[in-house]
Amino acid sequence: MTTKPLALDGISCRSHHTLEIHELNDKIVFLHSILGDVPKEEITETTVFPKYIVADFFSPNFTKHEQDFLTYTEKRTLYTTCCECTPREDSIVLNTMRYVPKGGVFTNNGRHNTLDKMIEIRGNTLSEIGTSPEPTEKIFSDSKTHKFGDYTVRMSSPFMMECSSATTKEIVWKLRLSAYLYTEIEEKGRALYFGTAGKGGRFYKVSLQDGEVIFSYDTGGTVTYKWHKKSIFLTDRKDDIIELDSKTGAELTRYRLKNPDKQRLRAMPKMLIKGNKLYLAAYSHSDFYDFHAVYLEI
């Protein structure tokens, strides 16, 4: 395991968020945002806190590292739930307002108070290339209808999964989940794989034919997961990385993350797997804003 700090020299964080992890031209790009802090005695009603979008570029084995960042001064907020990263042939484009903001993020004139920029990551640099187009509504997994051959699977209520026949329109099975469906529903070998989040969050494998739960692993909440050969990698309630056997749900490996000083790190859900290497971001057990890039041989 190798870890490297994700930070800006001389900048203390008021908040810190990971946006995406992507491969670009044989480099691993960790994209994150930082809201900088200022001394408490200097804070007034008109204080504008420094804001940064940061890209850290690592070689696959973390032996080389470069960094670039953009500073923006608009009185707008970057919401991770509104962002979308789109990989292209030789670049990555970040749209900071791809999706319509939810909740109290509007200014007095009714406009979104969300940062609306198009940013391109190319080579080892970040550059602003325009303003976000009109955002669209984000469709969450629990609002989608999933089709697998003759089977149609959807959430008939917040915790009830329902499967029906597209031919007969009859309900084939129902399954009550432990929490809200959060990930996409994926079908492999006539079984469904998906994660739930919220109180009682688990990772499931369910028979497509009859809705039988083949296994449900108590993760504390699964918002994303990754396949590697016949294994599934995800985070659990202890903020470790775990490897599950996709057939049985048995825990094969547990990775407890630590920085070079042997201090505990907590894994964040977003991961990238390239070959036999797994990349993710983690934060310090003692400081939520102390972020680290991590790579594991798996």
Q: Nearest 10 degrees: CA dihedral of 92, 96, 99, 100?
A: -170
Write down the mean pLDDT value for the chain.
93
- pLDDT tens-digit map of 152-196: 999 999 999 999 999 999 999 999 999 999 999 999 999 999 999
pLDDT of residue 106: 52
Cα(34)–Cα(30) distance, integer angstroms = 13
- pLDDT tens-digit map of 88-138: 999 999 999 999 877 655 555 445 688 999 999 999 999 999 999 999 988
Q: State how beta strands 117-122 and 92-95 pair.
A: antiparallel
pTM of the complete model beyond 0.85? yes
What Cα–Cα distance (Å) separates residue 69 from each residue in 34, 85, 239? 10, 16, 28
pLDDT of residue 126: 97
- pLDDT tens-digit map of 228-278: 999 999 999 999 999 999 999 999 999 999 998 899 999 999 999 999 999
What Cα–Cα distance (Å) separates residue 268 from each residue in 164, 192, 197, 216, 262? 35, 24, 14, 21, 18
- pLDDT tens-digit map of 45-66: 888 888 999 999 999 999 999 9
For each of the domains in the chain, give its residue range(s) and CATH number, in order of start: 2-138 (no CATH), 141-181+188-218 (2.40.10.480), 224-298 (2.40.128.630)
